[in-house]
Every structure is written in structure tokens, then in C-alpha cells.
Amino acid sequence: MSVFETLPLPTTTHPVIRVSGVRKTYGTTVAVDDVSFDVNDGEIFGLIGPNGAGKTTTMECIEGLRRPDRGAISVLGMDPVRDVYQLQDRIGVQLQQAQLQKRIKVWEAVDLWASLYKKKTVDANRLLDQLGLTEKRNSWFMNLSGGQKQRLFIALALINDPEVVFLDELTTGLDPQARRAIWDLVRGIRERGKTVFLTTHLMEEAERLCDRVAIIEHGRIIDIDSPENLVKRHCPERSVVLATQHPSAAEHFRAIPHVQEVVGNELHLTIRGCGDNLVTDVIRCLSANQIAVSDFRTVLPNLEDVFLKLTGHSIRD
Amino acid sequence: MMRGLWKLTWIEIKVFLREPMGAFGTILFPVIIFLVVGRVVGRRMDPSALASSSFIRVGWPVIVSLIIVISTVLSLVTIISIYREGGILKRLRATPLRPQTILTAHVIVKLLLTAATMVLLVLAGKRYYPTGVQLHFVSFTVALVISTCAILSIGFLIASMVPTARFAQPIGAAILYPMLTISGLFFPLAVLPPFLRAVSRVLPTTYAVSLLDGMWVGDPWFAHVGDLAALAIAFAVCIALSAKVFRWE
């Protein structure tokens, strides 16, 4: 009898990862509590939250590296604790802050990893080429830059042509340029039909990469959905910032329905309201009242604001 | 089950030899010391005295071999704790690689390095051993491998428990060298006070010394069944204990 029999059947895609009621404690600290979610085939799923929220613990339970105290996990139909070796054969893993032997060469690491899997592995030279590591194939691990190390770890996670790829804080500590290059690589993984499960504390990363995200804090999942839906649901506010010399502009704007407040100084006015029509209404008002503007921009809420709203603090605190 | 063992072993050997002090510190240094001491002592003795000096004939080879074993074990303790601290063990574990394969690879590397050092020592030492002196290299080597396994298992136990890589080497040395001192290696057990003599009786190193001494002078194996049994028990106990307390991260 499986725990999953009571769960509703998925409607469109079938989940490759099912997590249900997982709890994990270290001594008296509860790292993860009653965490449940599904990850669908072929999507990029992000677990987002501040450091210490329980992201890595959750991920390592799914990878079979930790045994949950309670709850059930199924990955590709396998139990990560009982079938750990069969599971490792079919998934690819990149761990947070992992290292390799200081003086192992890039090609040696890839060659070693390729020898560990029962299933057919991908062509190592092509993989190194795709990840831009061909020139570095004879370099020692310790002499690689942060971005190169991360690309090598991605190569190791992909060497067995895995069905699910786990990426834990993939771009932490990288400069923006290297980060963007890695994002493109992750999108490439999805395009090859693989499922990606990643954790990040960077909201921009989650927003740009993930099809769906689960927000986790203090070991509990707060909400799960696509980034757009999360923003729509929790932060319907819109703002328009504009610059005008018109003396009674503020009054006109206050008359627009759904406008909650108009604040500003001599140069800029900020119009806050909610609903998708706010921006259109402001433009109509400008044209109807012949208000000339020298600057006009809209400020839309993002995942960062969702997080602030749901938890009462910024993710960086 | 042993998938990846040979490749991992080969990579660990290469990685070790790339260490600045790797090859020199563990393989060449003991040989150089051996040659220097051999030269100094050898000059002061005439060849016939040399052949009959029990220190040069029996004591010195056993001391050198055991010190090599201890230093390899210490380097294993250090490597395991560095790998744990750096997350290398954890990264290797997140593959179909079995934990026992990872540890076996390290043991093979250490045994091979010990063997390489011993071969060099024998070649270097040949000139100090006049022809006619009966040497028993094969049984001595087998005895050394057995002793190494027993001492390595103590090393694993230490590696399982040291808190950080920084303390691995000093803690290991503080445990293993005193053990060696009261094992009858440098002076006979009879000169020890009764308390230390009792302690030495439960130390596997005591049996390793007895076994190696015996094998070097050509004792038959059945004369050392007790030593072999003691080493086997020590090995089993230490491996079982470290399997219980070993931390991968």
C-alpha cells in the first residue's frame, strides 16, 4: 500500500518526483517539516528560500543521500533509500560546495565518472566541448575558476545521460556573466527532455529559469506555482512612476478606479494600485487630460516581493 | 559491485604522486634515511660484525618497515579527513559507487605505496647484507601486508572520529607512535613496567612486531598463529567499529 494512492491523479503530465509529508530533524533542530510536492516530467522545478530554510536537506533526501525521519519519496518510481544505487544510475547530481581531489585533471574526473554507471554514458569529449571545457581538459581541479568548476560539476551530473538532474545552489558565488552562461546551460538540459530540480536563494534565477517554484521557509513549503501565478496571486499591486509638470496631475490620477495612492515629489509621481488595467487606465487619463510626461515607467512586483509578503522579511535577511 | 575500483585507485595514485611532497615524503625519504644510517653504521663495523649485529640484521629492517606503515596509515587518516571536509567523499557517494569501493581504493593505494617503498629499501639495503645471510622477503612481505591491514583499520577508526582535517595527522601520530613505542619494537617488552606491559598485550602493534621479527629471521608461520589471530581480531573489531561511527561529511 503506497501513500500516494490517496493523492489526486495528475491531470496533464506525470510526476517524476513525488514528495509527501517529509520530515527531517538533526538532533532537536527540525530542518524540514511536512514537505509535500510533485515535480513533473520535463520541467525546471525550483525550491527557493533563504539559507537554512531546508532546501539542501530536502534535495538530499530525494537524492538518497539522507534518510527522512517521516514521509514518503518516490523518484522515477523508486524509493531513494531502498533503491539508492539504481536511482543514482538514472539521476545526475550537483552538490552545494562540493570539491574534487585538488590535483585531479578535468578529463580524469569525467573519465572516472563515466566508468561508474551501468547505463550507456554520453560522449565525454562532446560534453566537455558543450560546456566549454575542452581547453581545460588537462588542468588540475584546483586551478579552475569558480565558473569552470561549476561547469565541470554540471558535466559530471550529465555524464550518465540522466533522466532527472539535481542542481543545488548552482550559481552561488559566480559573477553575473558566468551565472548567465550557466542559466543557458540549464535551459539546454530541459530542451533535451530532462527534468531539472534546482534550489536557489536568488529570486532572479528562479524567475528566469523555473517553470514552477516552491517557496520554503523554516522547513515548510509556503506556496507552489509558476512564478507568474505566484506574483499574480500574492502581489497584484502595480505602480506607475512618471514625471510631469502638470499642476493637478495627482488629482486626476486619484480619480482613477483601483488607484490606492499617489505619492511623489516635484519631479516624480508614483501611482500605486492593483489590477492589470492600472497601466492602461493611467495612459488613458494622461491622454484625456492632456498631461505631458517626460518620464514614464511601470514597476511590477516580482518573486522577491512575493517572498517579502509571504514571510514578512526579505530573502537576504 | 567493484565498478570503478581500478580507475579510482589509479587516479588516487596519480593524484598522490602530484602532491609536492607525495612521492618524496613517503617513498624516497625513508630510503634516503635508510641509506644514510646504513652508511654511518656500516663504516664503523667490519662486514662480519655487520652480518652478526642483531640490530642491523633484525631490529633495523623491522623498525623501518613499521615506521613506513605508520606514516602511510597517517597519510590515509589525513586524506580521508580532507576528503570528508572538502565534500569529496560526499560527491563520490552521490554516484552508483559503493562506499566500500571508495575506501578499498584508498587502502590499495596505501598498500601499493608501502610495497614500492619496501622494494626500494630492499634494493638499497642489499649492499649492507653480505651474501650468505638468509633473508625471507616473501614471508616478511606477506607479514607486513597483514600488519598493515591491522594498523590501517586502527587508522580508519581514528579517521572516523577526528573532528577536522587539521587535527587528523597530530591525533593519529599521538595515538600510533606511543603504541609502537611499547610494542617491543625499540626495546624488549621485559623492560616495561608491569602496567605498560599489560597495555602492550592488547595493542595490535605488539603482535605485528612479534610477527615481523619472526618472519625476518625465518620462523615458520605456525609459530606465529597467535600473532595472526590477534591481528585478525584487531582488524575485525576496528572495521566493525568504524563502520558504525564513520561520517561521510
From A230, A264, A286, give the residue that closes a domain: A230
- Give A107's contacts (C-beta < 8 A, 6+ positions apart): A124, A128, A137, A138
The chain B residue lying nearest A84, using CA atoms, is B96
Residues A289 and A219 both lie in one domain: no
Distance (Å) from the C-alpha of residue A57 to the closest C-alpha of chain B? 13
Give a yes or no: residue A264 inside a domain: yes
Mean pLDDT of B225-229: 94
Residues A140 and A160 both lie in one domain: yes
Residues A293 and A191 both lie in one domain: no
B96 to chain A: which residues are within 8 Å by CB? 85, 88-89, 116-118
Question: Which of B7, B19, B90 faces A112 most closely, judged by CB atoms?
Answer: B7
Q: Among A230-234, A274-278, B8-12, B36-40, whose mean pLDDT is lowest?
A: B36-40
Q: What is the DSSP string of chain B?
A: --TTHHHHHHHHHHHHHHSTTHHIIIIIHHHHHHHHHHHHHHHHS-HHHHHH-HIIIIIHHHHHHHHHHHHHHHHHHHHHHHHHHTTHHHHHHSSS--HHHHHHHHHHHHHHHHHHHHHHHHHHHGGGS-TT----HHHHHHHHHHHHHHHHHHHHHHHHH-SSHHHHHHHHHHHHHHHHHTTTSSS-GGGS-HHHHHHHHT-HHHHHHHHHHHHHTT--GGGGHHHHHHHHHHHHHHHHHHHHH----
Between residues B197 and B51, which one has the greater pLDDT? B197
Secondary structure element (H or E) that encloses residue A116, with its range: none
Residues A176 and A250 both lie in one domain: no
Residues A244 and A123 both lie in one domain: no
Q: Which residues of B touch A (CB under 8 A)?
A: 3-4, 7-8, 11-12, 14-15, 18-19, 83, 86-88, 90-91, 93-98
Residues A205 and A296 both lie in one domain: no
Mean pLDDT of B136-163: 88
**Predicted pLDDT of residue A121:** 83
Between residues A162 and B191, which one has the greater pLDDT? A162
Residues A98 and A242 both lie in one domain: no
Whether the pLDDT of residue B237 is over 90: the answer is: yes
Residues A41 and A173 both lie in one domain: yes
Residues A279 and A209 both lie in one domain: no
Residues A226 and A109 both lie in one domain: yes
Residue with cell 625471507: B136
Domain that holds residue A242: 236-300
**Predicted pLDDT of residue A13:** 64
Is A99 in contact with B14 (Cβ distance < 8 A)? no
Dist. CA A157–CA A224, nearest whole Å: 26
Q: Which residues of A touch B (CB under 8 A)?
A: 63, 65, 85, 88-89, 93, 95, 97-104, 108, 111-113, 115-118, 140
ipTM score: 0.80
Mean pLDDT of B39-60: 59
B86 to chain A: which residues are within 8 Å by CB? 99
Give a yes or no: residue A311 inside a domain: no
Residues A279 and A248 both lie in one domain: yes
Give percent above pLDDT 90 in chain B.
24
Residues A87 and A48 both lie in one domain: yes
**Predicted pLDDT of residue B121:** 78
B15 to chain A: which residues are within 8 Å by CB? 101-104
B95 to chain A: which residues are within 8 Å by CB? 88, 93, 113, 116-117
**Predicted pLDDT of residue B122:** 76
Dist. CA B216–CA B221, nearest whole Å: 11
From A183, A203, A230, give the residue that closes a domain: A230
A-B contacts at Cβ under 8 angstroms: 60
Distance (Å) from the C-alpha of residue B165 to the closest C-alpha of chain A? 14
Give a yes or no: residue A307 inside a domain: no
Give a yes or no: residue A316 inside a domain: no
Provide the whole-model pTM: 0.83
Count of domains observed in chain A: 2
Residues of chain A with pLDDT under 50: 1-11
The chain B residue lying nearest A105, using CA atoms, is B15
From A171, A206, A230, give the residue that closes a domain: A230
Residue with cell 517529509: A22
Between residues B171 and B46, which one has the greater pLDDT? B171
**Predicted pLDDT of residue B104:** 87
- Please report, as a single letter, which amino acid is at residue B115: A
End-to-end CA distance of chain A: 43
End-to-end CA distance of chain B: 23
**Predicted pLDDT of residue A5:** 46
